[in-house]
Structure 1
């Protein structure tokens, strides 16, 4: 069959069929995936990867996922691990409530004797929202679940010409996405949509000529696909100040563990009071700036002589073993850099 005739035939196929054919030929090789058409992967692998991928890039997650699986190859092993070990391994991935939910969910799954196999039952597990439950149901168990992350929502919005911000069009996007979800190959279809949004239907410079859905895409037909969907209006984030004590003795620094609940809950940290809107009066040895989802922070680091609160001495040459979140890792590096500068 001539190439032009073959192209015309493919264009007549349903969007899901064309998308799956594209996925079969172009699926990303990821450590938590099985090749297209293969038996479903272990639900533990799907769950762990999806939790890690929430608001974190694939490039960042890949090496961290491999480390987790190497250390805890089964959900039973993860459920039996100490909280501190898991939180330490999670350090640097951000959004630490995910790590606490990861621990709670692993133990609940083991208590139940395994993962539930439907989207509705999966929603009852700690930390599993609409998207994650649907992804596990589709990819691990083959349920015809509609999986919508930010990438998929953008694909749907462009395909149907929705020019409102995604947050305003969420209900319409779900209805449209459900109408496009095929009854077969649920896991492959979900991952095909994710790949399409991540590699072709990108927020900027979408590769529309190579998109298997472009022939019917309303955004592409306008000649300006980047206009769809409309960008969300960002509100200004409030700014806060924090104080952290630097207590050093005999080549070690005094660390504490933050309260289990709240921001950076259960993570290793430099001691200090809660953050507020006012800058502390003490002169700081160093100040670092850090952005959280809902606010920005200046953390002022002040030297102090005696240990505060319950904690431990962490040798400076083994600081990488403490599992510090990014905020406090930056604070430690700032103080060590200052110390080197003063000694020079």
Structure 2
């Protein structure tokens, strides 16, 4: 049985053979997987695949089967990341909803939106830590070998159910090499709409989820829309706004929603944030069931956003990187059908505004 991405006509040749990857990795066992892959010009998926037959098992990236099997595993840690943020939630995979193009996990702790079209490789991985303990994880990657989602076993995990899930997803043929697919050029979508059309559609929104359809219909990238729409709906904030937001939310013991995602998965925290610590460029949240690691130095713009709904406008804060991609997004936790919490709105409105300075 072949991996799904091996059927593509256009393929990326292997930069290094699995044997070469294993030999280099043996010389640098202490290096984090993502850092090792970047330094040695391979994908993280190639690094994991090279261990198939020893510490890794190749799995079908079947989102539906995964979500149906994970609830029986009990407590685990879900991890979703992009280049600048790592979002970790400890809890149960509860209330899975599986569709052809999208799936959801609607648990009290683990809250996910998954897009199976971006899941191309899967592995069960065992890693021995410095303390000698073996750590178990399920890791899934896109066609370019970039991680989309990982599940880590915990001390309370039901390992019999975990092993049964692995057995149900295991490929009959276990290969230690994978074939990646190059990123395709974006399809031409026509001329982007002007500001008048954008403002008309923005004003007409009655639900925040309509925003994605507005952007699609008007052929506008997300950040382009924020820059165009006008300061009554989107206003640029100072770089310090992100750290200020965490500090203010923690001080107010305010439940917030924190979204981190990539094309294959979006992971959501809903609740307060408490233990916040900045180390170097990293802002870290280290609460009991929620861990976040955010690279503040990779944020190039931060925006406060107001979206109309049937219950009054909803405020969010969004941070973007140098490629104009969304890194992280924040909302105040609210009950559907009710206006957002006044404390959250006040925090957003009081965040420091970006001030343009002219270079000498």
Band of TM-score, shorter chain: under 0.3
TM value normalised by structure 1? 0.25
TM value normalised by structure 2? 0.24
Give the structure with the higher percent strand.
2
Give the structure with the higher percent helix.
1
